[in-house]
Amino acid sequence: MRHYEVVFLVHPDQSEQVPAMVDKYKTLIEGSGGKIHRLEDWGRRHLAYNIDKVHKAHYVLMNVECDQPAIDEMASMFKFSDAVLRNLIIRREEAITEASLLAEAGDSDDDDGDDRAPVTASNDDNDDGSDADDKDEDLKEKQA
């Protein structure tokens, strides 16, 4: 049997169905005599770019050992599932069992909040927002 790394992204509106989907895939793998070496639910995370006008997705990572028909069936299930936005199946040389960097960090965006630092306005009373004044000030400093 071969080793595979499987990552799939689920539509955020279907996040509550992820455990049932994972159980279905686990049953498929184990029913064909395969093993699941690692299963990580990374939670809801921001996408690098929008997919079908969606900016977040629920990520799941699996490292499995199974035969080709089982992985073909899983790929077919991904293809015909409307909840799965994207999937990636990669053949690996050996089983990977240690936790991934994302799982160790544990920084999913389940709260739907914005993790970026807030931008604060300058307290400078003379700053009108234009860079022209800043250039003039730099020029005066150089001449002095």
Q: Tell me the two tokens of residue 68.
A: 């080709």
Cα 36 to Cα 74: distance, rounded to the nearest angstrom = 14
Going by pLDDT thresholds of 50, 70 and 90, the confidence category of residue 115 is very low
Distances (CA, A) of 28 to 19, 32, 63, 117: 14, 6, 14, 43
Q: Work out the angle at residue 54's Cα, subtended by the Cα atoms of residues 70 and 80, and round it to the nearest 5 degrees.
A: 25
Q: Is residue 136 part of a domain?
A: no
Rounded CA gap, 107 and 46, in Å?
Answer: 11
Residue 62 inside a domain? The answer is yes
Looking at residue 75, which CATH number applies to its domain? 3.30.70.60
Unique residue bearing structure tokens 């307290």: 123
Task: Write out the residue range of the structural domain in which residue 6 sits.
Answer: 2-94
What value does the mean pLDDT take over residues 12-20? 92
Q: Does 139 score more than 70 pLDDT?
A: no
* Residue 18 tokens, joined: 């992820």
83-106 pLDDT tens trace: 999 999 999 888 777 666 666 666
Please report which helix (H) or strand (E) contains residue 86, including its range.
strand 84-92
143, pLDDT greater than 80? no
DSSP 115: -
- Classify residue 50: in a domain, yes or no: yes
Structural domain includes residue 100? no
Query: How much is the pLDDT for 93?
Result: 86
How many domains does the chain contain in total? 1
In a domain, 6, yes or no: yes
Cα(141)–Cα(94) distance, integer angstroms: 63
Q: Is residue 38 part of a domain?
A: yes
pTM here is 0.68
Residue 133 located in a structural domain: no
Looking up tokens 């005066």, which residue turns up?
A: 140
In a domain, 120, yes or no: no
Comparing 17-21, 88-92, 107-111, the range with the smallest average pLDDT is 107-111
